[in-house]
Chain A
């Protein structure tokens, strides 16, 4: 009798040891920090939150036996609020990773916190090259695009295909200046000339004097280095003054949401770079778009697609690393080559943590060419990754240790 009880006790203990990890395994917590009520709410906001949720669901909701928990926060495009929320997410919510973060100033604040808390930050929606330049760190990744890609791809393609005499209208702050620098460099490489530039204060509503000056110079291409409301205003007014009769327009950033907001005739025959478009002919795109359309009634924009892909790649990296420990996951991400509907192929550069891949040149369709809702763009060119993304030696990134 004693021996039987002893045997049962040992069996229970052994069973307990085998079973207990499943009960005590801490969940993996994924967080999205995005703009849900500020100027980028339509572009990012719920779209990116839903993208992350969908990616987690499609992954199965679990990884390495851990449940995946998900939280999100709104930073309203304010850097100080973003800083606060990043601290809240890393410390109070014990998130293992933060995704997204539109608005570069906010993102740079999160990068800081990622290094401090030694947890991962994967920036998707903001564009600054500083994430992977002078402010790079081992915990930060830059996933979907950056300003260099936007400027260089559009600059080189347009110099080759639209004209060599350019004029630029630039939003007068850090982002605009950065874009101007890269656009001019790309233009020069292709033998073009910059006839002139106008610096316009951010948020100006009247672009007419700058447009008139641009028209006087008679450029073949006008580059509008601005985004959102400024893009809409400057383009609307350029069309008003008849600039488009002799000049083609290239944008730094242009989204289907902007086109919907202003009307497609405003943007017809304008060009822009994008990392992805729902009409791209890559394996997996049709299925992803169909699934998204069914759930949300409209196709995803490339920020949404970027977030989905980033979350999925992160989870795959966790699986490869065999643990959710940030340093192990970072090592699993660095140098990883993959192919999914968003990046085909994609490569995460270990030197600066950029997700590198090809870029697309899009032309905004004329209203008569639009066959279905959201069918705003035609893909007219592809720029290979080596040309679109800055050479590692030039980024200025000194990737430190953990």
Chain B
């Protein structure tokens, strides 16, 4: 195991980490703002990949179009889910919402399976991003570097939106205390819809970006979902910076595990989470009042 391999692996950790970051961003803002644990998040990620596939296979065979349209479609779909169904469940005990998102996950997966079959669909790297770049000490696939860049830009964008804009401030306030925001005369239900839509849009984006790297099938979200919960818990539920840092940490832990002892790679993150929570239950950047 030479230094070149180690660096290569750390890069790979960043790739997986980037997907986790995008997925966890969505998961955490949905939880932070709406208090919903979205079990269907992995399914929405998968759905985003299939929307992109459908656009490219039947409408416009252009990856960039799919990359922009796909997440937008998913955001609208997510907003519709919230507006028409989830909203009615807020008065009920939280278990009902969890049951609904779990059921939604099963429905989305089987819906895709019925239309596209169980084997999956082909999804190629866009030709402009094919091939590898010579990084001096090794060759690394162009598409993966693109992924890291795009994810960083998106995370920065989400962070800027939430910290620097007025709407972002309202969302953050709503995360802290939605009743107060409501009392101040702001239409909180519209904000809820927007936030849920945004979270799902991010999941869809993750799906489109990850599609060229793996088998696009109806079960592709299942593996990621549990790991994302780990990221959100470690980063702090409701914290944006927590998702970003947590996602990268989890990605690197898995990469490290794969280098050292592959069968344990995924288990390592759970051990890490358990150990971390013993020391700091709120996660990296979580809110103290919430957890301790």
Report yes or no: B120 in contact with A229, Cβ–Cβ below 8 A.
yes
Asked whether B161 is an interface residue with its Cβ less than 8 Å from the other chain, the reply is no
Asked whether B232 is an interface residue with its Cβ less than 8 Å from the other chain, the reply is no
In Å, the complex CA distance between A41 and B117 comes to: 9
* A-B CB contacts (within 8 Å), total count: 96
Q: Which residue of B lies closest to A212 (CB)?
A: B8
Please pick, from B8, B141, B217, B265, the residue contacting A240 in the complex, using a CB distance under 8 A: B141
Report yes or no: B214 in contact with A261, Cβ–Cβ below 8 A.
no
Report yes or no: B132 in contact with A242, Cβ–Cβ below 8 A.
yes
Report yes or no: A201 in contact with B119, Cβ–Cβ below 8 A.
no
With a CB–CB cut-off of 8 A, which chain B residues contact A42?
Answer: 117-119
Asked whether A9 is an interface residue with its Cβ less than 8 Å from the other chain, the reply is no
Q: Would you give the 0/1 interface string for A203-223, flagging 1 where the beta carbon is closer than 8 Å to chain B? A: 111101110110010000000
Report yes or no: A203 in contact with B215, Cβ–Cβ below 8 A.
no
In Å, the complex CA distance between A242 and B131 comes to: 7
Interface size class of B (residues with CB under 8 A): 35 or more
In Å, the complex CA distance between A241 and B214 comes to: 13
With a CB–CB cut-off of 8 A, which chain A residues contact B220?
Answer: 205
Please pick, from A200, A213, A242, A262, the residue contacting B139 in the complex, using a CB distance under 8 A: A242
In Å, the complex CA distance between A206 and B12 comes to: 9
With a CB–CB cut-off of 8 A, which chain B residues contact A266?
Answer: 122
Report yes or no: B5 in contact with A229, Cβ–Cβ below 8 A.
no
Asked whether B291 is an interface residue with its Cβ less than 8 Å from the other chain, the reply is no
Q: Which residue of B lies closest to A201 (CB)?
A: B263
Asked whether B124 is an interface residue with its Cβ less than 8 Å from the other chain, the reply is yes
Asked whether B292 is an interface residue with its Cβ less than 8 Å from the other chain, the reply is no
Q: How many positions in chain A have a CB within 8 Å of any CB in the partner chain?
A: 38
With a CB–CB cut-off of 8 A, which chain A residues contact B143?
Answer: 240
Report yes or no: B213 in contact with A209, Cβ–Cβ below 8 A.
no
**Closest Cβ–Cβ distance, residue A58 to chain B (whole Å):** 28
Of the candidates A172, A229, A266, the one having the most CB atoms from chain B within 10 angstroms of its own CB is A229
Asked whether A258 is an interface residue with its Cβ less than 8 Å from the other chain, the reply is yes
Asked whether A81 is an interface residue with its Cβ less than 8 Å from the other chain, the reply is no
Report yes or no: A212 in contact with B5, Cβ–Cβ below 8 A.
yes
Asked whether A198 is an interface residue with its Cβ less than 8 Å from the other chain, the reply is yes
**Which one, A156-164, A231-239, A320-328, A382-390, is touching chain B?**
A231-239
Asked whether B280 is an interface residue with its Cβ less than 8 Å from the other chain, the reply is no
Report yes or no: B118 in contact with A39, Cβ–Cβ below 8 A.
yes
Q: Would you give the 0/1 interface string for B105-134, flagging 1 where the beta carbon is closer than 8 Å to chain A? A: 000000000000111111111000001100
Contacts A216-B5, A236-B212 known; list 20 others, CB within 8 Å. Answer: A41-B117, A205-B220, A206-B16, A206-B214, A209-B255, A210-B262, A212-B9, A213-B5, A228-B119, A229-B217, A232-B120, A233-B215, A237-B213, A240-B141, A240-B213, A241-B139, A257-B119, A260-B119, A261-B119, A261-B215
Q: Which residues of B contact A (CB under 8 A)?
A: 5, 8-9, 12, 15-16, 117-125, 131-132, 139, 141, 143-144, 212-215, 217, 219-220, 223, 254-255, 258-259, 262-263, 265-266
**Please, could you name 5 A-B residue pairs with CB atoms under 8 Å apart, sorted by A?**
A41-B118, A209-B258, A212-B5, A261-B121, A261-B122
**Considering the complex of A and B, which 4 residue pairs feature the smallest CB-CB distances, nearest first?**
A263-B122, A261-B119, A232-B215, A261-B120
Q: Which residues of A contact B (CB under 8 A)?
A: 37-39, 41-43, 172, 198-201, 203-206, 208-210, 212-213, 216, 228-229, 232-233, 236-237, 240-242, 257-258, 260-263, 265-266
